[in-house]
Amino acid sequence: MQAIIVYAHPNNKTSFNAEILKTTKETFQQKGKTSELIDLNQEQFNPILNQEELSLYDQGAFVEESVRQYQTIIQNSDEIVLIFPIWWYGLPTILKGFFEKVFLPGFAFEFGEEGSERLVPLLTIQKTTVITTSEAKTTELRQKYGNPIEGTLINGTFEEVGLLNGHWLNCDETPTGTEERRRSFLREIHTYLLST
């Protein structure tokens, strides 16, 4: 099985998120694990769920062929790493749209019977790592802004579809922090991915 990296930042060359991506890919290489990259911006993924797609949603059907390709990559993976900036205390639009258009019924979940669990997960990704950058402090994101990553994403969306053992790494105050702090965060990513 392989790892899948989902990258959701417009700059995949010179941004700090790009350095995180580079560190992640190099760590998997060092670990001897193959990885496949989905660079949503580079691939010009369209995050807008239109009327036709919505009409097909309950059937688990889709319009764009890229959805089938992404689903195949996910099915062939046992680990997922998501790399993105936290903007306005939440996910970039392109990543939210990816979840809405790819994590479809019949693929990622099925609706539970009345009186049972609301959704039944269908995926079994054994390790999920969310790596983010933010201007806000991590403690503020957890305590003041509704804990959008651990609360909503990891314990909500991911549990509902079967992305298991979620772990969040965040480099806060990225625009104003020191270069050494950013280097230290890259080392933290490397150590975590290599050791688990």
Domain ranges in the chain?
A: 2-195
Q: Tell me how long the chain is.
A: 196
Mind listing the pLDDT tens digit for each residue in 153-174?
Answer: 999 999 999 999 999 999 999 8
Token representation of residue 34:
């193959």
Pick the CATH number of 2-195 from 3.40.50.360, 3.40.50.620, 3.40.367.20, 3.30.70.2190: 3.40.50.360
What confidence score (pLDDT) does residue 176 get? 85
CB of 193 closer than 8 Å to CB of 31? yes
pLDDT averaged over the chain?
A: 94
pLDDT exceeds cutoff 80 at 185 = yes
SS3 16: helix
Mind listing the pLDDT tens digit for each residue in 91-102?
Answer: 999 999 999 999
Mind listing the pLDDT tens digit for each residue in 115-125?
Answer: 566 889 999 99
Nearest to 167 by CA among 88, 81, 85: 81
pLDDT exceeds cutoff 90 at 1 = no
Cα(82)–Cα(120) distance, integer angstroms: 22
